Amino acid sequence: MRNDSSQNDPRKVWQAQPTEPSMITLEKIRRKVRDLNAKTRRQLLGSVAVLLFVAVFYAFGVKQFPTLRLPFALPIAWSALGLYFLNRGMWPQAMPGDAALSTGLEFYRHEIQRRRDLLRRTLLWSFAPIVLAIATFLLAVAKLGDKSLFPNALPFMTLVVVWIVAYFVIRLRERRDLQREIDELNNLEA
């Protein structure tokens, strides 16, 4: 028969939970380090490849529409700068080695602040150039002067606008939630 006091003691219940024998070995950890380094390299190469693809696309646009050189060149420069600023603020796959010197409160607040700042940077360096590029693309289509293109493009353009607005609203809401969390943590110390 089970002891009633231990059955109702949450600490006993918690500590008595079944655990699996650990399958984590130092060899597995070292393999993870190697995988992590390879993944970081792949991600960086992927970002550069995307930027190159976008640059080629814009270069084609510039060639086709010489008068729109500036509107096409601006998103390229913006995206290139964004690549730098976004990668600088990306979630690190590994925590800083001295993270354990921070308390739970310090680390958690720092992580939320970083997440909030990353959202702002994403809007500024990734979302904004895309919006500009789409606007430029639409301008280029308008310059073609073919009015029959617009009715055909209307569903696509509507989808794009809905996506832009939804993305913007969701990110802003997320940012507001994070800010509220930061304020609550600040109040804990006040």
Partner 1 sequence: MEGAKGTLSADTSQDDLYRTAADQFGAALERLARAYETDPDKRRDLTQEIHFQLWRSFQRFDARCSTRTWVYRVAHHVAASHILRERRVSKLVSLEELDALPGKQPASDHSLNLERLAALIQQLKPLDRQVIVSYLEEMDAAAIAEITGLSPGSVAMRIHRIKNILARRFHEGGRHAQ
Footprint of partner 1 on this chain (CB under 8 A)?
A: 2, 4, 7-8, 10-11, 13-17, 19-20, 22, 24, 26, 28-29, 32-33, 91, 94-95, 97-108, 111-112, 115, 174, 177-178, 181, 184-185, 188
**Nearest of 118, 121, 116, 113 to residue 186 by alpha carbon:** 113
Helix (H, G, I), strand (E, B) or coil at 146: coil
Smallest gap from residue 162 Cβ to partner 1 (A) = 21
Nearer to partner 1, 146 or 184 (CB): 184
- Which tokens hold the place of 16? 């008595």
Give the number of residues written for the chain: 190
59/99 Cα distance (integer angstroms): 44
Is residue 73 within 8 A of residue 123, CB to CB? The reply is no
Smallest gap from residue 120 Cβ to partner 1 (A) = 16
Nearer to partner 1, 98 or 145 (CB): 98
- Please state the separation of Cα 171 from the chain's center in Å: 10
Smallest gap from residue 179 Cβ to partner 1 (A) = 11
28/47 Cα distance (integer angstroms): 28
Smallest gap from residue 27 Cβ to partner 1 (A) = 11
Nearer to partner 1, 36 or 165 (CB): 36
Nearer to partner 1, 11 or 147 (CB): 11
Smallest gap from residue 50 Cβ to partner 1 (A) = 22
Smallest gap from residue 107 Cβ to partner 1 (A) = 5
Nearer to partner 1, 5 or 148 (CB): 5
61/58 Cα distance (integer angstroms): 5
- Which tokens hold the place of 113? 């602040």
Nearer to partner 1, 2 or 88 (CB): 2
Q: Is 145 left (phi over 0), alpha (psi -120 to 50) or beta?
A: left
